[in-house]
Structure 1
């Protein structure tokens, strides 16, 4: 239960950070946030640790947690690397994926479709995350899977944010189906291309999406 609370708080703070509600370098007030979320400081600090691992916070001993906004160039570079890691995972997965892994991947696709029907962005992202991690595991290379998962976690808030762009969630679903079809055919090149394009599209759209959300945040706080 405690972990679930910490995850919920992390997602809420993530949203506040990437939509510009906190300034770069701003110190987070633990007392104020604990009151705002109606929780003790323990799950809040767990959320801070997770956000620090994602690169959104810097934790300083005896000083607290400070917001860190990656600049746009850094984010684009991370998305470029993520696209290549995903492509590599897809290429290898098409050769090594097992029937049980395909069945698990198929379940995430079904769950994503249900989330789309319910217009549930958060549930879609959770199932989307499972989909990607299953592909990483299916690559059969544990080091590659760990590195892909590590960068995926770093980009998590931005990938989640992009799903709220108009039409992005159904498009993401179509891209997942393309990846699944390539894996079913045991087609490494098609799987690699589908995953590379799936992630690269996110990176290309990031600038406009971030600008629109920052504008919305400014309207809310102005």
Structure 2
């Protein structure tokens, strides 16, 4: 990929994340129309990366692109999100259970390296930096499961929940606690303790849903104070 291409890709990713934040935190409530021209003016970019970001959001299920009408924010709702996190927890628990039995020594090393990257990212103080390292950690578990279909399903749901998984990391102490949970997962995998790994990872995902609700509640309190 050329330097220009990388820059364009980073722009589209930054736009997607900004719009994810706006949707997840209610700046653009369900039913809102996301106008390309208005968004391009807001972010001072061309319509092309805006359009690409909206397509990615559509693939993630956050917006709906209606031909000849525009792009609209979907109404997911907290009960639906809770259900999605529950399914995500079971998918990842299945992945790590299989990974405990099937991971090669090289894949175990990759998991340890991914965890080390999370530790380094946490030290930057940026929840978003940690989130991107966190994706690498979970991907190492998917790969280690050696079940391509299961990994595909986990990645697809992870993508749909990306905005909410990223924002929950902004809750106080969440990154530190997440690191502790990751360490417990790594320890269980290296010990071959499938039951322990499965239980810890399931809890790790369910907590994310709870912390996202905490984040939304904190926003509501801040708006009342403001």
TM-score, with structure 2 as normaliser: 0.93
Task: Confirm or deny that 1:128 pairs with 2:134.
Answer: yes
1:18-97 alignment to 2 at 5 Å? 18-97=24-103
Task: Confirm or deny that 1:107 pairs with 2:119.
Answer: no
Structure 1 residues 219 and 3 mapped into 2: Cα distance closer, same or farther (>3 Å)? farther
Task: Confirm or deny that 1:118 pairs with 2:128.
Answer: no
Mapped partners of 2:134, 2:143: distance in 1? 15
Q: Which runs of 5+ in 2 are unaligned?
A: 1-5
1:179 to 182, 185, 199: 185
- Look up the match of 1:10: 16
Cα shift readout 1:106-150 (whole Å, capped 9, x = no counterpart): 222111111211101111000101111110111011100000110
- Look up the match of 1:188: 194
1:142 to 148, 164, 174: 148
1:161 to 145, 156, 167: 167
Q: After superposing the two structures, state which structure 1 stretch, 108-117 or 191-200, moved more.
A: 108-117
- Look up the match of 2:3: none
Q: What is the CA distance between 1:214 and its match in structure 2?
A: 4.2
Give the secondary structure class of the aligned counterpart of 2:33. Answer: coil
Contact preservation (8 Å) 2:98, 2:146: yes
Mapped partners of 1:24, 1:187: distance in 2? 43
Cα shift readout 1:165-192 (whole Å, capped 9, x = no counterpart): 0000000000011111111111111111
Cα shift readout 1:37-72 (whole Å, capped 9, x = no counterpart): 121111111100111122111111111111123111
Q: Which runs of 5+ in 1 are unaligned?
A: none
Mapped partners of 1:196, 1:122: distance in 2? 22
Total equivalences in the alignment: 220
Greater relative contact order, per chain length (Cα 8 Å cut-off, separation 6+): 1
Give the secondary structure class of the aligned counterpart of 1:39. Answer: coil
Give the secondary structure class of the aligned counterpart of 2:71. Answer: strand
TM-score, with structure 1 as normaliser: 0.94
Q: What is the CA distance between 1:197 and its match in structure 2?
A: 0.8
Contact preservation (8 Å) 2:171, 2:211: no
Q: After superposing the two structures, state which structure 1 stretch, 100-109 or 76-85, moved more.
A: 100-109
- Look up the match of 2:209: 203
Give the secondary structure class of the aligned counterpart of 1:59. Answer: strand
Q: What is the CA distance between 1:205 and its match in structure 2?
A: 3.2
